[in-house]
Amino acid sequence: MFNSAFDAVVPMVCVSLAGLFALLAEAFRAKGERMPIGGLAVIGLVGAGVASVLLWDRNASSFGVVTADNFALFVNLVLVVVGLFTVLFSSQTLERDGLPVGEYYALMLFAIVGMMLMAQATDLLLIFLALETMSIAVYVLTGLRRDQPNAIEAAFKYFLLGAFASSFFLYGIAFIYGVTGTTHLEQAGAAIAAQSMSSNPMLLLAVGLLVVGFAFKIAAVPFHMWSPDAYEGAPAVVTGFMSTGVKAAALAAFARVFLSALAPLVADWTPVLWAIAAATMVVGTVVGVSQTSLKRMLAYSSIAHGGYLLVAIIAANDVGKASMLFYLAAYAVTNLGAFGVIALLGTREHANDDLRDYAGLAHSHPALALLMTVLLLSLGGFPPTAGFIAKWYTFSAAVSAGYYGLAIIGMLSSVVSVYFYLRIVVMMYMSDRDARPVPPPISGLAMAGLVVSVLAVLYLGVLPAQMIAWAEQSISTIF
Amino acid sequence: MTFDLLLFYLFAAITVGGSLLVVAQRNPIYSVVSIVAAFCGLSGLYVLLEAPFVAVVQIIIYAGAILVLFLFTVMLLNATREDGAEWDRSHPYYRPGPTRVGGVLAVVLLGQLAWAISRMTGLSAGVGEAAPAASSVRLLGRVLFTDYMFAFEVTSILIIAGMVGAVVLAGKKGN
Amino acid sequence: MLALIPLFPLLGFLVNASVGRRLSKAVSGGVACVAMLAAFAVSVTQVMGLAAMPDTTREISYTVFTWIKSGDFVLDLTFRLDPLSALMILVITGIGSLIHIYSTAYMHDETDGEFARFFSYLNLFVFFMLLLVLGSNFLVMFVGWEGVGLCSYLLIGFYYVKKSAGDAAKKAFIVNRVGDYLFVLGALLAFVTFGSFDFQLIAAKATAMPPEVAFGTLSLITLLLFGGATGKSAQIPLYTWLPDAMEGPTPVSALIHAATMVTAGVYMIGRNAVLFEHAPITLGVIAAVGAATALFAGTIGLVQNDIKRVLAYSTVSQLGYMFLAMGVGAFGAGVFHLYTHAFFKACLFLGSGAVIHALHGEQDIRHMGGLKKSLPITYWTFLVASLAIAGVPLLAGFFSKDEILFETFDHGHQLLWVLGVVTSLLTATYMFRLVFLTFHGERRMAPAVAGHELDPHVSPAHGHGGGHLHDAPPAMALALVVLAIGSVSAGWLGWPHALMGGHNNLGEWLKPSFSATSTALAECNVPVALPGAPAGMTLAECAPGDAVPAVASSAQTTAEIALPASAQATESHAEPAGVGHAGAAAEDKTSLERLLMGVSSLIAVFGIGLAAFLWLKNPQIPASMAASFPGLHRLLLNKYYVDEIYDAAIVHPIQAASTQGLWKVADARIIDGAVNLTGYLVAGVSAVLRLFQTGSVRSYAASTFMGVVLILGYYLWR
Amino acid sequence: MPILTLLIALPILGSLLLLALPNRDGSKDQTMRLGALVISLVTFVASLALWAGFDPSAAAPAFQFVERHSWIPTFGIEYYLGLDGISLMLVMLTTFLTPIALLSSWEGIHTRVKEFSIFMLLLEAAMIGVFLSLDLFLFYVFWDVVLIPMYFLIGIWGYDQRLYASIKFLLYTMAGSVLMLVAIIGTAWLHQQATGQYSFDLLKLYELRVPDHLQYWFFLAFALAFAIKVPLFPFHTWLPDAHVQAPTPGSVILAGVMLKMGAYGLLRFAFPMFPEAALAFAPWLATLAVIAIVYGALVAMVQPDMKKLVAYSSVSHMGFVVLGIAAMNVQGLQGASYQMLAHGVSTGGLFAVVGMLSDRRHTRLISDFGGLKAVMPRLTAVFLILTLASVGLPGMNGFIGEFLILLGAFRWEPRFVVVAGLGVILSAVYMLWMFQRVYTGPVTHTENRHLNDLSVREWAVVGPLCALCILMGVAPNLFLAPMEPAVTRIVQRMESREPMRVEAGWRSWFTGAPAPVAARVSAVEGQ
Amino acid sequence: MVPISYYLILSGLLFAIGTAGVFLRRNVITLLLSVEVMLNAVNLSFVAFGRQFGTVDGQIITFFVMTVAAAEAAVGLAIVIALFRHRESLSPEAFTNLKW
């Protein structure tokens, strides 16, 4: 099948087929019949993963608008991992919350298709479509528990602001089109390289609006306000999925657009991103300090992490690109694990995501507490975990580009963030609650997922060399 | 004052007026109706831009399909007037702040856009002077199904996602 | 072999400290005494060996091991025995042994554990004291210096249940620490100046330098060292700890606070004689401080009522004498007095101890009297020692004190001489006041007072009846008698030339120690010259008036030491000026010395008579005097309120400032406050920022929109 | 065989082993305690072998038992271990104190003994790693890892204020060290600029001539991180809280080893890596150090709480260490290193004894005690020995270090010594005052009448410490000799350098750090 | 002939009106309509630009935008219905349960 004109799209095809089958399965499912639809998703994702691996280094491209360079494939693989973890944690929570299984998986897979496409597309229009595909699926996933007002409210806010922002994004595309006469990145880039930005006010508008579009998706300040609400309202599993997958995809597209087509204008968009990144890191961590809901807390933390990722883009050098990829991978495993724990501790009635619900977890469920601790330490950037390597990598990118200021801001904000990560640890280990509700039993599958994620976190933390090498290969082929 | 400039101003007036009404109406139904008017004006502008097919699609799909969907929803929810008085007044987070801020910002944005566009050189050329019109449906079709083939396919996923989503969210309880 | 001397006491300490509490009193006391006697025996053999040597190269030194080595800084733990330290170790081990023996009886009422603890401390003290005097460099000396401080701390606080004892101990250690601080600074400065801690090398290097007419490095070094000495030897301003130190058991007072430790300062100055000789300014200071202390303490001693405190102040005052001697450059005389003082003062203390022991802890002389009959041995020995300290002719004190006074006068410090004479009058007076009040007159002791509740070391197993007294048991008696004999005869070693042509053998013997040895001089290639030379040089160099006493002092020292033995040697080497001076001095010295001797003997006798008149014949006079001058009396009784002043001026301010200022405000409020403030700040900002998250979707949109406008604005208007 | 790796791995493996053992109901507590103890003892034995195999001669290579394996090749990051005399001694200190700390916890720690033992072992491994790593990245990893177990130790097993203390400890220390991380990255990048490849190899970075305006800030970043750890006035306020709240073993390790990490960092990294800046800032550091000495002593003097008193005394003593380092001559550095060991032993011992008292009486207030000498003479004797050691009595370990520091500092700048010397007086004041109030006088509280004296286990805790106090005082060369070559090397490295002009750094603050092309490797420059 | 810039400014005007609508109205449906207005404003720009270049790309993009708009409308309205089920209100201010 390879070496055909359609290689580049194979991963997406796999996933979308899985999604369609999931829908069909749901359609044919008798009421109350249990069907391993998650299995379909796994098959599709694994297929996509295998395809991505096979496409490695082949720099395939289809339709002239979809590329399968290593950069995209790396992101694809991260997304596959995201998907797989999500599936692992979903199986239990879906049943518990009585969610529509088929639709859930289908939407999740469609979202992943959109994400993959964002990473792979080399055409702004396509990026827009991908972004919309992803977004629409995720809007719905957010509001999946429609019996809960919060879920719907979250979906509503996410949707409205998303639509609002994506129209800005679209407007930006329009101006790019107006300036260059094309939406295709290479050609646009070539055309832009010809002219300087200040001479062309429409280009200014274009860049500004594109920044807005992407910044919104990765929840950068001041476009972040939807994320805490959306993350809190959505089912924990979905939150994990959003916070990692959407970010990854958006950043991939962000990097591709700004570091290839808009690369000539680097001097022009850097200051804006600098400010946004700084604000994002600071606000994300500082506001996180006063949160009591775990989901919300981690929502702010993921805002902050978005800021760290922006730093990688600002560095705009090879170290930066590679570090971004590494960061995405590390962050994906860590955050999914953390939200997995939250999801598994919830019950149908209560999300159990308040800080106090974790009091004395170390007694009632030591293993879970231990895993959670490792994940939180990784989020806080303590060695020897993935989070530390990721932060170090990103900030060395910043330093190597001379952005000491950003590095220092980021480091200090990460110290602040440690405070609220440790509040959870304090709850779990250092404060006992007399009437401790026994946490719900955790399925072997989910537990396995957690263990795997923790192991991954430790592996990336102790032996990051291989992953770093891959990341570097990924950026070697493009830009 | 040439004829098409006149037409432009006419359609522009309809469009702007319609969309202003959309924003100005308290009653959703009126909003929907006035947006239909706005879209009609828009399609007129498309005609002036020698994009007849787009104009038609604008009328049929947009005004015909999508807005009817809106209308249905409004009817379904039977929320004719902008309700929520009991929410607005009593609500602790009801503040005129966002409204005013948003209004001001909108004006600023308009200023920015206008300023940027007006400073653009090479756009002063009239329609049809810069390049010959490329608007035959055949051409459209060919380009759509060659260059934009993949995008077209992607929209299918998009639509499916949208459909499924709509069903999941709006469908009857307890599926 | 030399190392054995300190080794024995150390072993004794280890034994008693480790297994002492399981040993019987006989055994542990025996161990301690044997250790001391062994040390004494070894010392004697060593000193004899030393004496056998030719006096030019009279020194035995032995390096145990290299203690500290760091880069170019290498410090050996070396013992050096020279005439001066020889004298010291004899005093220490000799008198130490006696006091050990005495203690076996005195401490007999203690439990086994306490008994062993006492002797282990005592042995440890002797060990450190020997380290102090045998050490060949500042650091080893410092080890002993601090070590004896520690032991005095432990022994003063021996009755640890008494709060006063604990306070006194702490005070002693801390005041000493102040001195040690200055001492260390001085030593470090010396090291930086001379590149070594070794006394000999320093002396040799210093010999090469001219005496400092103006204040300079040498003056600074010596001043700092003298500061250390004031701490250890209880001189103004750091003398306050010594009287309090009487809280310790009496043998401790005898050994540490009379005979040995407190004289360490004097020894240290003698050890660095060359250094001090080259710092005339410092010498002046020392002399003044010494004389002042002597007088000052004497006046206080006059009115004290605690038998031991009287002795303590007399000790302070006698130490003042020694420093006076050192200050006028009469190092030999100072050490001489140190040596004699060790005998009679130890004797006095032990005697008072015997009294206290007999009276079950009564220390207030107003409750004594008429003990002559019941305590004959104690009485006689005490009397002899008192006569000695009072300076009655031909007794130990006479010679040494007289020599000091003579030197003082002779070096042109007439004023100081007057002070000294007054002091000796006071000495005689208050000593005999003590004697008379304690032993003569009728018994003023109520039986109740003799009760055990006054006993500092109450112990059920204490076999004395309440009322009847009995004299010192044999062990104590032995010590008393031996020391009394010493008090009589010790002075004869330094029989002056002036008095029927004796040979000041002691001065003779000590002389080499007060100058750099030829070996050392050779080692740091300083041209070998007799100690006379530098003095001569300075005489030639500096005429200006302000330096005159200094010049005189050094010149006289040399002359005085040189005269009896080898005047011609001096003449041949020294420059004409020096010779002239020395020669001229030689003529009228003898007559002058005789004259002064007479004066001081008279003074002594007069003092005794005065005491007899006041406290023996008509005791109402002192009372009426005290009544007529209440202010003065109270002032003296309260020791010029010096302790109170120190507390008010130093201790309390520091404590208050640290508590209220540093800890509660600077640390908790400001520094830590800043830290916490950062935390609160973040929390506060967080609490404010989160309020922007109102939950209203339109405000969210507004923020997004704001971002858009700002970015576009930046681009369009930059 | 890779003995250094073994040293680090032993405790980790041990902790994993304990982790594997089930102990839900706490029935296996004793096993846990014993297991941890045995493991730490084995580690100690291994470190003894290390000492035996160490070649203290000046001719020997600078770092011995070197192990280096590529870790993150693209950045030249290596797993690079090696030790010289200084690190050898500190490793010995660590492996020596850990079993003692574990023993001292025997009765104090009842709850979650399993976790406790695991954290103690992890802590040991991390601390050893800090002293052994020659790769800055590796060093930073260990440096940060150390925080976590200690955070848990304070937070879980501490006293009432433990949460506040633990989080303060963690955040304060971290805030300092992240800036250091930035500086580390910057240095590595400068190396890349100069030679074309990244390197975190300490020895390579020694050769790097960092341009002044960057060196200024890098040094400050390093110095801040280490000054907080030491802790140097005015960054010391986390220490009293942490010490007072930590459980006894925690305090022992904290005072005994962890503070040393800061001083070690100063003399191993901050000074040799940025010599010009270091020399320029040495007087400032020394000033802070002498302030810390006197200030710490004065504040310690008036503390009502024994642990707090000892904590502030640590501030004072560590001030001496920094003073010695700032002097930057052989005596100063060697004295500083020695003082680290001495302070580790004596203060660790003091905390252990205070812990024994509070185990018995559940209070640490001095006013709650008094006259204990009559009740527990042995404990009193032990405490006295440790007290004398910590007031620097000659013949005890404290003296050697303080004296050498004073000597070195005096050779450099006597004025500092004049002030620092006051600390010697004051140390006597506060220690003896405490001793008097706690141990002498009549027994004031009836509860204290029947406290039992040292048990055999407690002898095992304090016995070695006291013995070492005296041994280190009498035969210091035993410990000085191995350190000397290392110290001389550092001093020689510094001697060749000129202090930079400080204004350069200030200006770079406003002008922003320009592209540091000036960076060059002195070796390269030589050719 | 009408200059292209007129169309562009017109679209800018429409876009601004759309954004203003998001803030001025307190009815969820009107909010959605305002977003539709914004999208159409962009469409106008696309077509105008396309006309400027004389290619059909602009027009084709508008088709895709319409599709997206349709999908968004579907989901959006579904959400609106779900919202209305919870609170009998369409005011965005009614849904401020999640905050801070």
Residue range D146-160: mean pLDDT, rounded = 91
Decide if C702 touches A, using CB distance below 8 A: no
- pLDDT digits over C607-626, tens only? 888 888 888 787 788 788 87
Q: Closest partner residue to C658 among D171, D299, D428, by Cβ?
A: D299
- pLDDT digits over E35-60, tens only? 999 999 999 999 999 888 888 899 99
A chain contacts of residue B113, beta-carbon cutoff 8 Å: 205
Asked whether the beta carbons of A118 and A253 are under 8 A apart, the reply is yes
pLDDT tens-place values along chain A, 479 residues long: 556 778 889 999 999 999 999 999 888 887 777 778 889 999 999 999 999 999 988 888 888 889 999 999 999 999 999 999 999 999 888 888 888 888 999 999 999 999 999 999 999 999 999 999 999 999 999 998 888 889 999 999 999 999 999 999 999 999 999 888 899 998 898 888 887 766 788 888 899 999 999 999 999 989 999 999 999 999 999 999 999 999 999 999 999 999 888 888 888 889 999 999 999 999 999 999 999 899 999 999 999 999 999 999 998 888 889 999 999 999 999 999 999 999 988 888 777 788 888 888 888 888 899 999 999 999 999 988 999 999 999 999 999 898 999 999 999 999 999 999 999 998 888 877 655 566 778 888 889 999 999 999 999 999 999 999 999 988 876 65
Band of residue C533 on the pLDDT scale cut at 50, 70, 90: very low
D chain contacts of residue A465, beta-carbon cutoff 8 Å: 70-74
Q: What is the DSSP letter of C78?
A: E
> Contacts by A34-41 with C-beta closer than 8 Å and gap 24+?
A35/A101, A37/A101, A37/A102, A37/A105, A38/A87, A38/A90, A38/A91, A38/A101, A38/A105, A40/A105, A41/A83, A41/A87, A41/A105, A41/A108, A41/A109
Asked whether the beta carbons of D164 and D242 are under 8 A apart, the reply is no
For chain C, the C-alpha Rg in angstroms (whole number) is 31
Asked whether the beta carbons of C465 and C412 are under 8 A apart, the reply is no
| Alpha-helical segments (H) within C328-395 | 331-358, 376-390
Helix (H) or strand (E) holding C428: helix C414-439
Whether the predicted pLDDT of D496 surpasses 90? no
Nearest chain E residue to A292, by CA: E100
Give the distance from residue D44's alpha carbon to the nearest chain A alpha carbon, in angstroms: 25
Nearest chain D residue to C224, by CA: D418
- pLDDT digits over D259-299, tens only? 999 999 999 999 999 998 999 999 999 999 999 999 999 99
- Beta-carbon count within 10 A of C674 CB: 11
Report the alpha-carbon distance of residue E84 to residue A119 in Å, rounded.
36
- Residue A5: the pLDDT is 79
- Residue C474: the pLDDT is 84
B chain contacts of residue E38, beta-carbon cutoff 8 Å: none
- Beta-carbon count within 10 A of E81 CB: 18
> CB A161 to CB C697 under 8 A?
yes
- Do C and D make contact, counting contact as 3+ CB pairs within 8 angstroms? yes
- Residue E72: the pLDDT is 93
> CB C695 to CB E23 under 8 A?
no
Q: What is the DSSP letter of C639?
A: G
Chain E interface, best mutation among B4, B15, B16, B19, by max E CB count within 10 A: B19
Decide if C718 touches B, using CB distance below 8 A: no
- Do D and B make contact, counting contact as 3+ CB pairs within 8 angstroms? no
Q: Pick C632 or C323 by higher pLDDT.
A: C323
Lowest mean pLDDT among C581-585, D134-138, E26-30: C581-585
- Residue C559: the pLDDT is 40
- Residue D441: the pLDDT is 85
Residue range D423-446: mean pLDDT, rounded = 88
CA distances (Å), origin D276, targets D195, D227, D264: 21, 18, 19
What φ, ψ does residue C62 adopt, rounded to 5°?
Answer: -145, 125
Percent of chain D with pLDDT over 90: 60
Nearest chain C residue to E26, by CA: C698
Select from A192, A324, A331 the least CA-distant residue to A267.
A192
Report the alpha-carbon distance of residue E89 to residue B87 in Å, rounded.
8
> CB B98 to CB C709 under 8 A?
no
- Residue A3: the pLDDT is 67
Q: What is the DSSP string of A200-255?
A: -HHHHHHHHHHHHHHHHHTT-TTS-THHHHHHHHS-HHHHHHIIIIIHHHHHHHHH
Select from B96, A293, E32, E99 the least CA-distant residue to C696.
E99
- pLDDT digits over D43-94, tens only? 999 999 999 999 888 888 889 899 999 999 989 899 999 999 999 999 999 9
This model of the complex carries an ipTM of 0.91
Whether the predicted pLDDT of C578 surpasses 70? no
Percent of chain C with pLDDT over 70: 88
- Residue A354: the pLDDT is 85
B chain contacts of residue C708, beta-carbon cutoff 8 Å: 109
**pTM of the entire predicted model:** 0.91
Provide the chain B residues 101-140 that lie in CB contact (below 8 A) with chain C.
101-102, 105-106, 108-109, 112, 115-116
Q: Please name the residue that has the structure tokens 């520690």.
A: C150
Q: What is the DSSP letter of A62?
A: E
What's the longest Cα–Cα distance across chain E? 54
- pLDDT digits over C103-137, tens only? 888 888 888 888 888 999 999 999 999 999 999 89
> CB B28 to CB E6 under 8 A?
no
B chain contacts of residue E6, beta-carbon cutoff 8 Å: 8, 12
- Do B and C make contact, counting contact as 3+ CB pairs within 8 angstroms? yes
Report the alpha-carbon distance of residue D345 to residue D442 in Å, rounded.
30
Chain B interface, best mutation among E17, E35, E38, E83, by max B CB count within 10 A: E17
- Residue C446: the pLDDT is 55
Residue range D297-311: mean pLDDT, rounded = 92
Whether the predicted pLDDT of C584 surpasses 70? no
Lowest mean pLDDT among B125-129, B132-136, E51-55: B125-129
- Residue C545: the pLDDT is 39
b/e code C553-574 from CB counts within 10 Å (16+ = b): bbbbbbbbbbbbbeeeebbebb
Structure tokens of A407?
A: 């590095």
3-state secondary structure of C69: strand
Give the distance from residue A85's alpha carbon to the nearest chain C alpha carbon, in angstroms: 31
Decide if E19 touches C, using CB distance below 8 A: yes
Nearest chain B residue to A23, by CA: B164
Report the alpha-carbon distance of residue C153 to residue C147 in Å, rounded.
10
Report the alpha-carbon distance of residue B22 to residue B42 in Å, rounded.
14
Select from C389, C304, C284 the least CA-distant residue to C346.
C389
Whether the predicted pLDDT of B98 surpasses 80? no
> CB B109 to CB C699 under 8 A?
no
What angle is formed at CA A73 by the lines to CA A68 and CA A78, rounded to 5 degrees?
155
| CA B146 to chain centroid | 27
